[in-house]
C-alpha cells in the first residue's frame, strides 16, 4: 500500500464530516485502493464515531478505530500508526484546516527525505484568515524553546500535517510517549535523534471555527511537557522518575476526575510571576528613588493597604464561592445579579469609609508620623478601588476564567511601576508612588468589569444577592482579619515603634520576605473554585488540597533556599546598597514566613467548604502576636522571631482544624 493517513478525532462531530467530504473523494480518485484513511476516535462523548462510520459504506479506503479512553492526540496517533500499512504514513487534523491538496504536497515533495512536515511559516505558505496576534506570538516563543532545548530547526512544529516513511516511523515508535499538544515535538525530536532527515514544505492552512486550543492553558501544558521530554534525554532523567513515583499518583488518582489544578495553577503562576517581577521592580525603584524615611512612609501605607484589603478580600472570595456554586448548579444567569448587588453595596460602604478617614485624617497622620494626610487619603481610595475590582476578579475566578484573572494582575503591576516611577522622577515623594499604586487599582476595576462582561456576556439584570451572602462574607472577614494582622501588622507597627531610618530598613527586609507569602497564592486561586461545597468534603477535595500543598511546598522551599543563599545579592539588587547587617534577618524572615504561607492554603480550603472554625485560632494567634509585639520590639530581630513563631503556631492550628475523619462520596453545594 502506498499511503496511510491517520486522523485523530475527539468530539469532532460538527467538523469531521466536512473534512472527510474533502479528503475521501480526493484520495480515492488519486490512489484508488492504494490508500487507507484511518480515523481514530478517542474519548469522544458526542456522535463523532457515528458520523465517521456513516462514510464507510461509500469509501472502502476508510477505517474507523474507536478508543473509549481519552488518550489524547498522541495516543490516538500511536494507535493509528500501529494499524497503518502504507509505505508512507502521515496524519492531519480532523478539523480540515489542511486541505487535501496541501497534504498531497507533502507526498510529492518528500523526495529523498525521511519525513516531510507542513509549515505555516515557510516562505510561500498561505494562511487564512491570519491567526490572532497572541496565538502567533505563542507559536514563535514555543518554536524558539524547541530550538533551544532540542536543536529542532523546524519553523512550525505544531502544524497538524506531517508525513514519514514507514522505516523512519518504525525507528521511533518505541520511544513515542508525549501526548496532547506536545506530541509533535516528541515526534520530531525522535526523528532527529535517530538520524532521520526532515524537510519542511510551505502549506495552505485555513482556520476552522471550533478550535479546542486555549492559549494560556495549552501553553502551560506544552511547556511542562517539553521540559519533561528534555529531562528524559539528559543526565537529570531521575527527576522525571522521581516525579512519576511520588507526584504522579497524586496528580491523577484512580476514580477521581481530573481537576486541572496543575494546569490552571501554572497559568496563574506564569502571569503572577510577571506581576511579581513588576512588584519587585516597583519596590526596587522606590527604594532607590526615595530616601529611607520616604520609603518607610510608602511601606507603612502599603502595609495599611494590605491590612484593609486582605480582610475585605473576603468579598471577592465570597463572590468566587457563590459564582462557582451557581456554575456547578447550572445557574450561571444568577452571577450578574450578584455582581450588581455587591457593587452597589460597596459604593455605599466605600463612601462612608472615605468620609470617616477624611474626618480623622489629622489624628491618624500624627500617629504614623506622616508629614501630611495625602498618603492616607490615597491609600484609602486605592483600597476601595482594589476591593471593587477584586470582586469582579473573584467572579472570573469562580467562572474559572483564569486567563483573565492572570492577565489583570500582570497589567496592573506594569501600570503601577510605570506611573509611580514617572511621578517620583518628576519630583514627587511617596505621594507620587501612591498615586501610581492607586491608578493601578483603578485599572483592575475597569479591566475586571470588561473581562466579566466578555466571559459572562452581560452585566444587566436585577441586583440580587443569594441568601446568606454577607453572613458567609463576615465569617470570611473574621478569618481573614486574623491572617491579615499576622501578615502585615509588623510593617505598620514598625513605623510606630522604630525610627524613620529603622522602619525603612525593616521595610526592605519585609519586602523580600513577602515574596514567600505571595508566590504560591495563584495556586490557592486555582484550588478554591474546585472545592466549593456547603460543608461536605469528598475524596476529590482531599486530593486537590494535597496537590496544592505539594506544589506550594516545592515553590516555597526552592524560593526560600534561593533567597537564603543569595540574600546579600538580592538585597543589593533591590535596595541598591550594601546591606550585610540585614542578611541574617532576610534569611530568618523568608523561612519564618513559610508556615504562614501554607496557612493561607488551609484557611481558604476550609472557607471554600463553609467551615469557619479556623477563624478562632487565627484571631487568637493574631491577638497573641500583637500582645507580644507590644512587649518585645526593641530590635528588628525580635519582631521577625515573633512573626515566625506566630506563623508556625497558626499553621499547626489550621492543620488541626481540618476534618480528618469526615469524607463523603457526593458533596452538596447549597
HSE-CB of 22 using CA atoms within 13 angstroms: 17
Looking at residue 202, its pLDDT comes to 93
Give the span between the Cα atoms of 646 and 625, in whole angstroms.
6
Q: How confident is the model at residue 109 (pLDDT cuts 50, 70, 90)?
A: very high
Q: How confident is the model at residue 246 (pLDDT cuts 50, 70, 90)?
A: low
Looking at residue 212, its pLDDT comes to 54
Lowest mean pLDDT of 390-404, 419-433, 576-590, name the range: 576-590
Mean pLDDT over 26-44 rounds to 92
DSSP code per residue over 142-184: HHHHHHHHH----S-TT-S-EEEEHHHHHHHGGG----GGGHH
Q: Reply yes or no on whether the pLDDT at 37 is more than 50.
A: yes
Give the span between the Cα atoms of 236 and 247, in whole angstroms.
17
Mean pLDDT over 200-223 rounds to 70
pLDDT, tens only, 286-305: 878 887 788 878 888 887 78
Give the span between the Cα atoms of 592 and 121, in whole angstroms.
51
**All 3 cell numbers of residue 111?**
523526495
Give the span between the Cα atoms of 44 and 42, in whole angstroms.
6
Asked if residues 131 and 207 have their Cβ atoms less than 8 Å apart, the reply is: yes
Asked if residues 147 and 186 have their Cβ atoms less than 8 Å apart, the reply is: no
Looking at residue 255, its pLDDT comes to 45
SS3 201: strand
CA 621, chain centre distance (Å): 31
What is the phi/psi pair of residue 42, to 5°? -125, 130
pTM (predicted TM-score): 0.58
Looking at residue 353, its pLDDT comes to 79
Q: Reply yes or no on whether the pLDDT at 180 is more than 80.
A: no
pLDDT, tens only, 549-579: 888 888 888 888 988 888 888 777 766 666 7
Asked if residues 163 and 119 have their Cβ atoms less than 8 Å apart, the reply is: no
Give the span between the Cα atoms of 608 and 530, in whole angstroms.
9
Mean pLDDT over 159-166 rounds to 93
Mean pLDDT over 581-607 rounds to 88
What kind and span of H or E run contains 23?
Answer: helix 16-31
DSSP code per residue over 381-437: HHHHHHHHHHHHHHHHHHTT-HHHHHHHHHHHHHHHHHHHHHHHHTT--HHHHHHHH
- Cis preceding linkage at 89, omega within 30: no
Measure the N-to-C terminal CA separation of the chain; round to a whole number of Å: 61
Name the residue with higher pLDDT: 19 or 215.
19
Q: How confident is the model at residue 668 (pLDDT cuts 50, 70, 90)?
A: low
Q: How confident is the model at residue 537 (pLDDT cuts 50, 70, 90)?
A: confident
Looking at residue 40, its pLDDT comes to 94
Name the residue with higher pLDDT: 262 or 491.
491
Domains identified in the chain and CATH numbers: 3-226 (3.90.550.10), 261-571+581-657 (no CATH)
Name the residue with higher pLDDT: 131 or 297.
297
CA 423, chain centre distance (Å): 32
Closest CA to 619 of 649, 590, 640, 595: 649
Is residue 558 exposed (0-12), middle (13-18) or buried (19+ Cβ within 10 Å)?
exposed
Mean pLDDT over 228-255 rounds to 65
Q: How confident is the model at residue 256 (pLDDT cuts 50, 70, 90)?
A: very low
Average model confidence (pLDDT) for the chain?
Answer: 83
Q: Reply yes or no on whether the pLDDT at 602 is more than 80.
A: yes
SS3 85: coil
Looking at residue 92, its pLDDT comes to 95
SS3 455: helix
Mean pLDDT over 611-635 rounds to 88
The most confident of the ranges 95-104, 252-261, 355-364, 460-469 is 95-104
Give the span between the Cα atoms of 511 and 642, in whole angstroms.
17
Q: Reply yes or no on whether the pLDDT at 268 is more than 70.
A: no
Amino acid at each position: 500500500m502506498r499511503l496511510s493517513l491517520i486522523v485523530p478525532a475527539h468530539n469532532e462531530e460538527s467538523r469531521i464530516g466536512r473534512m472527510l467530504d474533502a479528503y475521501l473523494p480526493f484520495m480515492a480518485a488519486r490512489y484508488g485502493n492504494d490508500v487507507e484513511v484511518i480515523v481514530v476516535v478517542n474519548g469522544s462523548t458526542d456522535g463523532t464515531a457515528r458520523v465517521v462510520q456513516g462514510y464507510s459504506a461509500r469509501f472502502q479506503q476508510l477505517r474507523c478505530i474507536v478508543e473509549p479512553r481519552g488518550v489524547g492526540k498522541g495516543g490516538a496517533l500511536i494507535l493509528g500508526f500501529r494499524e497503518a500499512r502504507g509505505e508512507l504514513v502521515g496524519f492531519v487534523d480532523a478539523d480540515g484546516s489542511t486541505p487535501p491538496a496541501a497534504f498531497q504536497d507533502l507526498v510529492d515533495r518528500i523526495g529523498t527525505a525521511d519525513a516531510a512536515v507542513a509549515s505555516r511559516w515557510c516562505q510561500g505558505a498561505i494562511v487564512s484568515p491570519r491567526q490572532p496576534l497572541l496565538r502567533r506570538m505563542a507559536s514563535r516563543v514555543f518554536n524558539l524553546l524547541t530550538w533551544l532545548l532540542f536543536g529542532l530547526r523546524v519553523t512550525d512544529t505544531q502544524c497538524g500535517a506531517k508525513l514519514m516513511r514507514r522505516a523512519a516511523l518504525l525507528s521511533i515508535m518505541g520511544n513515542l510517549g508525549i501526548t496532547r499538544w506536545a506530541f509533535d515535538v516528541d515526534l520530531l525530536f525522535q526523528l532527529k535523534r535517530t538520524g532521520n532527515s526532515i524537510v519542511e514544505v510551505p502549506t495552505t492552512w485555513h482556520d476552522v471555527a471550533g478550535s479546542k486550543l486555549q492559549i494560556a492553558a495549552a501553553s502551560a501544558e506544552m511547556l511542562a511537557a517539553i521540559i519533561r521530554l528534555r529531562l528524559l534525554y539528559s543526565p537529570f532523567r531521575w527527576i522525571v522518575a522521581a516525579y512519576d513515583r511520588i507526584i504522579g499518583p497524586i496528580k491523577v488518582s484512580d476514580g477521581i476526575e481530573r481537576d486541572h489544578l496543575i494546569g490552571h495553577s501554572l497559568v496563574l503562576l506564569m502571569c503572577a510571576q510577571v506581576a511579581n517581577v513588576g512588584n519587585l521592580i516597583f519596590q526596587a525603584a522606590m527604594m532607590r528613588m526615595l530616601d529611607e524615611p520616604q520609603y518607610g512612609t510608602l511601606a507603612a501605607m502599603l502595609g495599611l493597604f494590605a491590612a484593609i484589603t486582605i480582610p475585605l478580600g473576603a468579598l471577592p472570595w465570597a463572590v468566587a464561592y457563590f459564582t462557582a456554586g451557581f456554575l456547578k448548579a447550572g445557574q450561571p444567569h444568577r452571577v450578574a445579579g450578584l455582581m450588581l448587588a455587591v457593587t452597589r453595596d460597596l459604593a455605599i460602604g466605600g463612601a462612608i469609609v472615605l468620609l470617616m478617614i477624611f474626618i480623622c485624617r489629622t489624628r491618624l497622620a500624627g500617629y504614623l508620623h506622616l508629614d501630611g494626610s495625602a498618603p492616607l487619603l490615597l491609600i484609602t481610595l486605592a483600597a476601595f478601588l482594589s476591593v471593587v475590582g477584586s470582586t469582579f476578579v473573584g467572579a472570573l475566578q469562580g467562572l474559572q476564567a483564569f486567563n483573565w484573572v492572570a492577565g489583570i494582575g500582570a497589567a496592573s503591576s506594569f501600570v503601577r511601576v510605570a506611573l509611580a516611577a514617572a511621578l517620583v522622577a518628576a519630583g514627587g515623594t511617596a505621594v507620587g508612588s501612591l498615586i501610581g499604586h492607586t491608578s493601578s487599582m483603578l485599572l483592575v476595576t475597569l479591566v475586571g468589569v470588561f473581562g466579566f462582561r466578555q466571559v459572562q456576556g452581560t452585566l444587566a439584570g436585577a441586583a440580587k444577592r443569594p441568601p446568606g451572602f454577607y453572613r458567609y462574607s463576615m465569617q470570611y472577614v473574621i478569618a481573614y482579619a486574623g491572617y491579615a494582622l499576622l501578615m502585615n501588622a509588623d510593617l505598620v507597627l514598625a513605623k510606630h515603634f522604630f525610627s524613620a531610618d529603622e522602619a525603612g530598613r525593616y521595610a526592605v527586609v519585609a519586602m523580600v520576605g513577602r515574596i514567600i507569602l505571595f508566590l504560591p497564592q495563584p495556586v490557592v486561586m486555582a484550588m478554591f473554585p474546585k472545592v466549593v461545597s456547603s460543608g461536605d468534603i469528598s475524596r476529590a477535595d482531599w486530593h486537590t488540597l494535597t496537590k496544592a500543598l505539594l506544589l506550594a511546598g516545592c515553590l516555597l522551599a526552592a524560593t526560600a533556599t534561593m533567597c537564603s543563599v543569595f540574600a546579600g545579592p538580592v538585597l543589593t539588587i533591590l535596595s541598591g546598597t550594601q546591606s550585610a547587617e540585614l542578611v541574617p534577618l532576610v534569611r530568618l524572615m523568608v523561612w519564618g514566613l513559610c508556615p504562614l504561607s501554607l496557612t493561607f492554603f488551609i484557611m481558604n480550603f476550609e472557607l471554600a467548604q463553609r467551615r469557619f472554625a479556623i477563624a478562632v485560632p487565627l484571631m487568637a494567634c493574631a491577638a497573641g502576636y500583637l500582645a507580644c509585639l507590644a512587649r518585645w520590639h526593641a530590635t528588628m530581630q525580635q519582631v521577625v522571631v515573633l512573626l515566625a513563631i506566630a506563623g508556625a503556631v497558626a499553621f499547626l492550628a489550621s492543620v488541626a482544624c481540618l476534618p480528618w475523619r469526615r469524607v463523603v462520596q457526593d458533596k452538596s453545594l447549597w
